[in-house]
A and B are shown apart, each in its own frame.
Chain A
């Protein structure tokens, strides 16, 4: 397996370490909120354990190669949002996104839920990911969340009153759901 952190650039390890600490602060904030809502979850980086766990998922809706995606994103985006959501030793979901440079939004690009019907956080993954995303946006000083390339069938749920997103279909580029925080 290739190294997960690109160390070719002299500045990159420093930025990587700083953003890692910021992501951890956001995860702690979100984990506390989840606990208050009765949801026990651990939020962690997408590490070797997570990549090993996702390799065991069966009947996946998508065939995203997380073992390739993570090195790609780590190489290009030290400020990325990433999270692996665990419950009792079970990997329940993975998510990755990134902040817009010189703009006010933080975008979520990929979320995959463990398709196992016994996933203990089934139905709670979206709320958990969005809460962690919102916390990271606050940390970075961003004021808008974007869900890029949403599944059409899920858009009404994102746009429901509790979630409060609205669908944006730009003239160029793909659709996304947007929400202010």
Chain B
């Protein structure tokens, strides 16, 4: 049996835009399975903003907007 010694090709989704140099590689993207595990593990976390006390905080707020008055175009990563 012939076994290839070539390294498997990296997932292009994890490569940097500059070409995938290892030292500049983007952070790996969690798999959906990893994501579900993380959410399950955190299922009992406090969500104080969804308690009656939390929901009362913005009940009379004239706005709930966040951000600058004028849109600023993001710089490319």
Residues of A within 8 A of B (CB): 9-11, 14-15, 18-19, 21-22, 25-26, 29, 33-34, 36-37, 39, 61-65, 68-69, 72-73, 75-77, 79, 93, 95, 98, 101-102, 108-113, 115, 123-127, 130-131, 134-135, 138-141, 147-151, 153-154, 157, 160-164, 174, 181
| Interface contact B49-A130, CB-CB below 8 Å | yes
Give residues of chain B (34-77) contacting chain A, Cβ–Cβ below 8 Å: 35-36, 38-39, 42, 45, 47-51, 53-55, 57-71, 73-77
| Interface contact A123-B59, CB-CB below 8 Å | yes
Q: Is the interface of A mostly helix, strand, loop or mixed?
A: mixed
Report the 10 A-B pairs with minimum CB-CB distance, sorted nearest first. A162-B54, A11-B12, A111-B66, A127-B49, A14-B13, A15-B13, A37-B50, A123-B59, A110-B67, A139-B35
25 A-B pairs whose Cβ atoms sit less than 8 Å apart in the complex: A25-B32, A25-B35, A33-B50, A62-B67, A62-B69, A64-B67, A75-B76, A76-B74, A77-B77, A98-B74, A101-B26, A110-B66, A123-B59, A131-B49, A134-B47, A138-B45, A139-B30, A139-B39, A140-B30, A141-B30, A151-B63, A154-B63, A161-B48, A161-B53, A163-B49
B29, B49, B61, B64: the one contacting A15 at CB < 8 Å is: B29
| Interface contact B49-A22, CB-CB below 8 Å | no
| Interface contact B74-A77, CB-CB below 8 Å | yes
